């Protein structure tokens, strides 16, 4: 923990230490979770599990009705876990996601639930990166609790904060040549992989994947997403209920972007509910402010990205869903630690894979399998990597 560290070369982090361990304003959506929130989420995340969108399938499940995938938890926050990982001022900076660690509890999110998100900054450190030189890796915790006081999950997010000028000059991810081109044959191969993933999911159906059937070295059925586009990234953005005008009862943060040190043109007014009443487009990050680099290539280049890029929270969800599909409805993700390594860019495809690395008894009556998960693009570059531990039934 770098609480005592004040500056590092050209990156001024002297304001951060005073915020560590101090709870900040909680986040809460105005409306309870709706069935169509869940449907919209799995559609945007390209997760074709009928448990989460088909009424008859859900009714025949162990849950007796709709239930959200565990990946949906992040969509019930008003900042996808980022707020406690971006406290404090770093002048002339920007932010991208660096990873998420999750601890899931017994509660599952269902339609009608109201989730309150308690937040607390955790720690930070500065190190040199090829992307932007001196870079701050800052972490914060979000605890998700429903209206019955049940804990749903604890999320520890990592924000990567860096000098915009340094990243724009280095152009680490700008290999030139623009978006890759896909032949009809290559697209057909992607569709084949997607269909095989769906087939294995539906073949398991409502049955159990028993722990005794799993051995170290087992490979999960792979999946592929993409090729990604500005349209698919926009669909992801709109699957987060927080992006809907008037949706937040308790906002993403009480601090303006400029107060955090964001450059003026990227600071924006996300979560400014006073401005939202008169000009809501100005409060929407897809149009103005820090999130528009995802969907507007000209702004992406200003912050060191070559073109439109995806959302870190979505990438983590893709890998959680990969494991959840394999585990089936009787399985439950127990813990996950996923690092985001390189951006998901428009034109890229994302190939998801998983390998069982351990089967063990975590504690009495809690039996788990650990799965190493990787997301790569078509050139083999690692977009995300981590370990997901899932609880499976014995009988």
Q: Which of 61, 104, 106, 4 is nearest to 336 (CA)?
A: 104
Residue 13 in this model has a pLDDT that exceeds 80: yes
Question: Is residue 1 assigned to a domain?
Answer: no
Domain-embedded: residue 3: no
155/84 Cα distance (integer angstroms): 10
Q: Work out whether strand 332-340 and strand 382-391 pair parallel, antiparallel, or are unpaired.
A: antiparallel
Tokens for 110, please give them.
């269902």
| 25-60 core/surface letters (b: 16 or more CB in 10 A; e: else) | bbbbbeeebebebbbbbbbbbbbbbbbbbeeebbee
Mean pLDDT of 278-307: 86
Q: Is residue 191 in a domain?
A: no
Name the pTM for this structure: 0.93
Which pLDDT score is estimated for 9?
A: 57
pLDDT of residue 75: 97
Is residue 44, in this structure, part of any structural domain at all?
yes
What is the structure's pLDDT at 257? 66
Number of domains within the chain: 1
Cis previous bond, 227, omega within 30: yes
Asked if residue 287 belongs to a domain, the reply is: yes
* Ordered alpha helix ranges (H), the chain: 35-44, 55-59, 164-170, 184-204, 230-238, 264-267, 273-276, 297-302, 312-327
Give the list of residues 6+ apart from residue 209 with CB closer than 8 angstroms, or none. 326, 327, 328, 330, 331, 392, 393
CA 157/CA 99 separation, integer angstroms: 6
Whether the predicted pLDDT of 181 surpasses 70: yes
Q: Which of 9-23, 214-228, 265-279 has the highest mean pLDDT?
A: 214-228
What is the secondary structure of 48-67 as a DSSP string?
--GGGT-HHHHHTSTTSS--
Distance CA 226, CA 194 (A): 10
Whether residue 132 is predicted with pLDDT greater than 90 in this model: the reply is: no
The region of weakest confidence among 16-20, 330-334, 365-369, 386-390 is 365-369
Residue with tokens 């103005």: 288
Range of the domain at 265: 16-181+204-392
235-247 in b/e form (b: 16+ CB < 10 A) is bbbebbbbbeeee
Residue 335 lies in a domain: yes
In a domain, 45, yes or no: yes
Predicted pLDDT at 262? 74
Which whole number is the average pLDDT over 375-395? 96
Least confident of 39-53, 101-115, 289-303, 331-345: 289-303
Say if CB 79 and CB 27 are below 8 A apart. yes
Note the maximum CA span of the chain: 59
Are 345 and 309 in contact by the 8 Å Cβ rule? The answer is yes
- Check residue 6 and give its pLDDT: 43
pLDDT band at 136 (very low <50, low <70, confident <90, very high): very high
**Of 95 and 76, which is predicted with more confidence?**
76
Closest-CA residue to 115 (of 176, 159, 73, 84): 73
pLDDT at 26 > cutoff 90: yes
List the CATH number of the domain containing 374.
Answer: 3.10.129.10
Residue holding tokens 């998700």? 144
192 in a domain, yes or no? no
- Cα–Cα distance for residue pair 341/385, rounded to 1 Å: 7
């Amino acid at each position: 923990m770098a609480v005592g560290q004040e500056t590092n070369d050209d990156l001024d982090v002297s304001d951060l230490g005073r915020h560590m361990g101090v709870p900040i304003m909680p986040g809460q959506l105005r409306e309870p979770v709706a069935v169509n929130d869940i449907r919209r989420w799995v559609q945007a995340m390209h997760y074709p599990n009928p448990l989460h969108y088909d009424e008859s399938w859900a009714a025949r499940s162990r849950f007796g009705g709709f239930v959200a995938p565990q990946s949906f938890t992040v969509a019930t926050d008003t900042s996808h876990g980022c707020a406690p990982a971006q406290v404090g001022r770093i002048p002339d900076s920007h932010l991208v996601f660096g990873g998420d660690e999750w601890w899931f509890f017994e509660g599952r999110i269902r339609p009608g639930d109201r989730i309150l998100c308690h937040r607390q900054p955790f720690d930070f450190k500065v190190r040199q990166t090829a992307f932007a030189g001196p870079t701050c890796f800052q972490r914060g915790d979000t605890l998700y609790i429903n209206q019955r006081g049940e804990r749903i999950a604890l999320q520890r997010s990592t924000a990567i904060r860096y000098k915009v000028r340094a990243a724009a000059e280095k152009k680490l991810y700008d290999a030139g040549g623009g978006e890759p081109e896909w032949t009809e044959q290559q697209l057909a191969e992607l569709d084949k992989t997607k269909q095989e993933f769906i087939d294995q999911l539906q073949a398991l159906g409502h049955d159990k994947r028993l722990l005794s059937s799993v051995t170290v070295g087992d490979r999960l059925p792979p999946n592929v997403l993409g090729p990604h586009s500005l349209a698919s990234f926009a669909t992801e953005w709109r699957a987060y209920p927080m992006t809907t005008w008037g949706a937040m009862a308790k906002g993403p943060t009480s601090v303006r972007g400029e107060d955090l040190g964001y450059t003026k043109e990227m600071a924006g007014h996300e979560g400014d509910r006073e401005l939202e009443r008169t000009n809501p487009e100005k409060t929407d990050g897809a149009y103005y402010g820090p999130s528009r680099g995802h969907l507007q290539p000209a702004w992406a280049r200003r912050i060191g990205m070559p073109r439109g890029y995806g959302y870190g929270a979505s990438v983590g969800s893709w890998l959680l869903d990969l494991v959840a599909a394999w585990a089936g409805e009787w399985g439950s993700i127990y813990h996950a630690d996923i690092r985001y390594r390189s951006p998901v860019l428009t034109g890229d495809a994302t190939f998801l894979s998983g390998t069982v690395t351990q089967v063990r008894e975590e504690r009495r009556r809690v039996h788990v399998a650990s799965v190493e998960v990787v997301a790569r693009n078509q050139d083999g570059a690692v977009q995300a990597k981590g370990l997901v531990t899932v609880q499976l039934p014995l009988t």
